[in-house]
Structure 1
Amino acid sequence: MIRSLWTGATGMVAQQTNLDVTSNNLANVNTVGYKKVRTNFADLLYQINREPGSPVEGGTTVPTGIQVGLGARVNGTSRITTPGSYEVTDAPLDVAIEGNAYFQVVLPNGDIAYSANGEWQRDGDGQIVTSDGYLLEPAIVIPEDGTDITISSTGQVYVSQPGDDEAQEIGQIELVRFVNPAGLRAIGRNLFRETAASGDPQIGNPGDDGFPTLQQGILERSNVQVVEEMVNLIVAQRAYEANSKTIQTADRLLEVANGLKR
């Protein structure tokens, strides 16, 4: 009977984590470039009271045995990298990636991070940066007198300047892709770091060798579906309640057993 108490508790703890993940998805429903996360569960160890296939009298074997599970746990969270919806903003530095790839961002310590957020800004020195001031890699500087910024589908950045009849190319936006993008480590601020699970970054220009192209004046919104996440909340709540019921039932049975001496 004590075993069922602990089994029910493992289910409640697992659903608490599931609720945390779902609530984070909902909190980021309007975060540009956010990719939703799914909770993965696994059953725990089993107590084998009789091994399947054990021999019995008459030369036969036990067909199933007796295997009692000891609960569940969260064994991972998977990031779903499907594209989100696209929103037309017409802002010259808003750029959407038409596929599964990332921009490169330089962190304050010089390390490289990766982001699907194409909501770029221009700092006081004309450099293209994130909303937090992190530089785009490779760096692109827009001249002070530069106007009419144009970003092609293949990543070339052009600006017009007084006295020039044609727009001048000032830089090239590169993209990065990974064998397993779900294995990237999230560090907040729409940024990721590579890990052994993600594989090494593969760098290329948009449109080359299978890399996706870019769209200027468009942002990729979060791929979170609010209705789907609300259903997940209901399922998590009901699963949590069901596990609590098993603990209550086990407690009542223990109460009956303790009352036998009276």
Structure 2
Amino acid sequence: MSDQDPQLAAAAEIRARIDTSKPHSARFWNYFVGGKDNYEVDREIGDHIKEIFPGLVDVARTSRQFLGRAVRHLAGEQGIRQFLDIGTGLPTADNTHEVAQSVAPDSRIVYVDNDPMVLAHARALLTSTPEGETAYIDADFYEPEAILKAAASTLDFSKPVALMILNTLGHVADYDQARALVARLMAGLPSGSYLVISDSTATSEGMIAASNAYNESGAVPYYVRSVEEIAGFFDGLELAEPGVVQVTEWRPESGVSVVDAYGGVGRKP
């Protein structure tokens, strides 16, 4: 048996797990940010939602830009060299490791997702600088302690870590459960660690209608929350200025503005 046979078998197993009959949030979002890793079913619901609420495309793209600004702030101004990115999604441009390692080449990044298509792309595309390290964990957000245990093989939990949870928490229908999951992850990180969250919000009729249409498509539902609920994830943390705001207003670099996506960065005392 050749050395490549196990790799081919693993790739075949991943392909077998990919369901192309229903939309998927990672592929749907990939379509909105201009990626190519999506299927017709994702593009169909994407086009349908753009008719209902064209602003969701701006939400997707500006949320991605928020990620870049937050990572540059943490790596460049706060000296963070470790990032735990949960709900990775499909790799596009300016992924967490690319931004962090462009500022600090020795940055170490662990990506976490449990989607087979994301897994396949991550292993191929999420590479690292020689000085740093990038790893991928196939794990479930509902098992935070298992995530932390697996990440410990790459990250040093005696030093601060930035926990990134972007456009992911809406998959947890129960708000109290979502807050508990975030709290359990932060509990495993040392003082001086950071939490970065952004998510779509129920701040307009258009966004609510778009969310309802997506949830009726057969995809795994995604629930938009109030701004107050997004802010609640940061309870007990020290919010970086300007707090929990529209993603385009968090240390803005352009005049673009969106209403229905909020985010923030908080430090664990």
User: TM-score scaled to structure 1, two decimals?
Assistant: 0.20
Q: Which has the higher contact order (CA 8 A, sep 6+)?
A: 1
Higher helix share goes to which structure?
2
User: TM-score scaled to structure 2, two decimals?
Assistant: 0.20
Higher strand share goes to which structure?
1
